[in-house]
Amino acid sequence: MKFGFYTPNFDFCGDARVLAELAHEAEDAGWDGFFIWDHLQVIEPAVDPWVALTAMALRTERIRLGTLVTPVPRRHIAKLAREVTSLDHLSNGRLILGVGAGFPYLPDYAAFGDRGDARQRAAKLDEGLELLTALWSGEPVNHHGAHYQVECAGFQPPVQRPRVPIWVGAAWPAKRPLARAARWDGVVPVGGQGLEVAPKDLASIVAAVRAQRSADDAFDVTQFGVTKDPGDTAVVAASAEAGATWWIDYVYARGGSLAATRARLRQGPPRL
């Protein structure tokens, strides 16, 4: 199991310099990944996640970096493809792209005219992911779909091949997002009452995804949670047994603090 840390890109983490220093401290403390939210506006101050990831990549050498998750339907697809490629080169192949359909009821989605029902957003996400991989191939793209019209020369491919890993957000117990995740490189399950899901549900998620993939395919399964210190491992161990490949500690935007976040990071990841 690998261990990541997850913070908002706003409030006390709404500064690219702060996030860069936190990522640096996480790397020093032995964490394997550092991930941030991708929201436009929730609590001020807020920082653009791609600007923040750039600063984080320049301040680190080993740790994996990425968004959990980017709502692809509200992004300009060519801009997103270019940002991901640029960051993958800048980080020397350390980027992970978490994706989702987005929640239109959130202020930073609906407030800027990004709407559409769940089915429309899911269809746009599916088409967008296929288009992203085409843009990353280095070959010319001639795409005329329901949601995207693209004709262009090939982009420079990312460092990672065949592509930057794509982890797909899936709200349990919905089945279609799990089927989508099975077509890519990882799943980011979230529960109905919070980010984490119960270990028994995680085992069901893993079984559902594995049933649609070859047994020897590499595939990541994340589990969110909050640990008090490196010895707080009961739920971590249960999640690993259920099939999680990444444990991701997270901090709350409301009620949290930069000092508490830094203190937990410096303690290091859970020790199984």
CATH number of the domain encompassing residue 122: 3.20.20.30
Q: Give the count of domains, the chain.
A: 1
Q: For residue 193, is pLDDT > 70?
A: no
pLDDT in tens, 73-116: 999 999 999 999 999 999 999 999 999 998 777 777 778 888 77
Q: Which of 9, 67, 13 is nearest to 261 (CA)?
A: 13
Q: How many whole angstroms separate alpha carbon 171 and alpha carbon 189?
A: 6
Report yes or no on whether pTM surpasses 0.85: yes
Residue with tokens 């901090």: 251
65 forms beta bridges with: 34, 95
Q: For residue range 108-117, what is the model confidence (pLDDT) as tens digits? A: 777 888 877 8
Question: Residue 194 falls within a domain, yes or no?
Answer: yes
Question: Which pairs from 207-213 meet CB under 8 Å and 24+ separation?
Answer: 207/243, 208/175, 208/178, 208/182, 209/178, 209/181, 209/182, 210/243, 212/179, 212/182, 212/183, 213/182
> Residue 115's pLDDT is what?
77
Those residues with Cβ within 8 angstroms of residue 27's Cβ, 6 or more apart along the chain or in another chain: 34, 60, 61, 62, 63
Of residues 59, 61, 50, the one with CA closest to residue 92: 61
Cα gap 227→249, rounded to integer Å: 7
First to last CA, the chain: 9
48-55 average pLDDT score = 98
Per-residue confidence band for 22, with pLDDT thresholds at 50, 70 and 90: very high
Domain range for 78: 2-267
Domain membership flag for residue 116: yes
Query: What would the two tokens of residue 51 be?
Result: 């600007």
Domain membership of residue 272 (yes or no) is no
Predicted local distance difference test score (pLDDT) of residue 122: 95
Q: Let me know if residue 144 belongs to a domain.
A: yes
Higher pLDDT, 230 or 252: 230
Q: What is the pLDDT of residue 85?
A: 97
User: Does some domain include residue 69?
Assistant: yes
Q: Is the residue at 189 inside a domain?
A: yes
| pLDDT computed for residue 215 by the predictor | 67
- Helix, strand, coil in percent for the chain, rounding step 5: 40, 20, 40
140-144, 169-173, 191-195, 253-257: the lowest-pLDDT one: 191-195
Q: Is residue 236 part of a domain?
A: yes
Distance CA 60, CA 29 (A): 12
